[in-house]
Chains A and B, each alone.
Chain A
Amino acid sequence: QQPVQSPQAVILREGEDAVINCSSSKALYSVHWYRQKHGEAPVFLMILLKGGEQKGHDKISASFNEKKQQSSLYLTASQLSYSGTYFCGTASGGSNYKLTFGKGTLLTVNP
């Protein structure tokens, strides 16, 4: 079963913040986040392993609450280059390599 992402779409002005959520009905081993620009391949952003860690690089960070089976992606001070569709991919059953992806969140950053 696919994880549920919310919101489905969000429009920001440059410099604003956004949060994208990913929720699963299964016990999760890890959560991956990817960004895909139109017509291109998804690009890996980060992986969070169970343990409730938070990670980040630049102005993009993420958290993972394994008890709630949820992860959130935080984009702060958004830039035009952040536009794209964000996907979470979840791994469960003790395996970290086979991912089930959500339907994606379309993020549009306007000047």
Chain B
Amino acid sequence: DGGITQSPKYLFRKEGQNVTLSCEQNLNHDAMYWYRQDPGQGLRLIYYSQIVNDFQKGDIAEGYSVSREKKESFPLTVTSAQKNPTAFYLCASSALTGTVYGYTFGSGTRLTVV
């Protein structure tokens, strides 16, 4: 079955460390996204990509970086510059053509700074 796989499910990071969250999809979707979810804040867009080797900053990109070397993969790196990284991170993908453009979300990675 097609879907999005995020790993790991839980991640603990020491202050000052960079960590990378994995996101892989086999839906043949062109667009991929990273959102951050904090209690009571909804989902806020970090980065998004429409095509391989191209991506754009979202509303809260500071302290994060991404790459899109393959259509299927869109990893997110949380750098030490991100001051408050503890959150639930969701990766999503969507088609850019066709009649249905709904997002498919992964199951998320919960990052905790210790």
Contacts and interface: CB of A to CB of B under 8 A. Distances in A.
Contact of A104 (B31, B42, B101): B42
Interface in B22-76: 31, 33, 35, 40-45, 48, 50, 58-59
B50 A97 contact: yes
B100 interface: yes
A92 interface: no
Interface residues of B, number: 25
Interface string B98-113: 0011111111100000
Contacts of B48: 98
A103 interface: yes
Contact of B100 (A41, A42, A47): A47
A2 B48 CA distance: 17
B42 A87 contact: yes
Given A47-B100, A47-B101, A47-B102, A103 B40 contact: yes
Contacts of A46: 102
Contacts of B33: 98-99
Contacts of B108: 40-41
8 contacts: A32-B102, A32-B103, A41-B90, A42-B103, A98-B45, A101-B43, A103-B40, A104-B42
Interface of A: 2, 30, 32, 34, 40-44, 46-47, 87, 89, 96-104
Given A44-B102, A99-B103, 13 more contacts: A32-B102, A40-B108, A41-B105, A41-B106, A41-B107, A42-B90, A97-B50, A98-B45, A98-B58, A99-B45, A101-B42, A101-B44, A103-B40
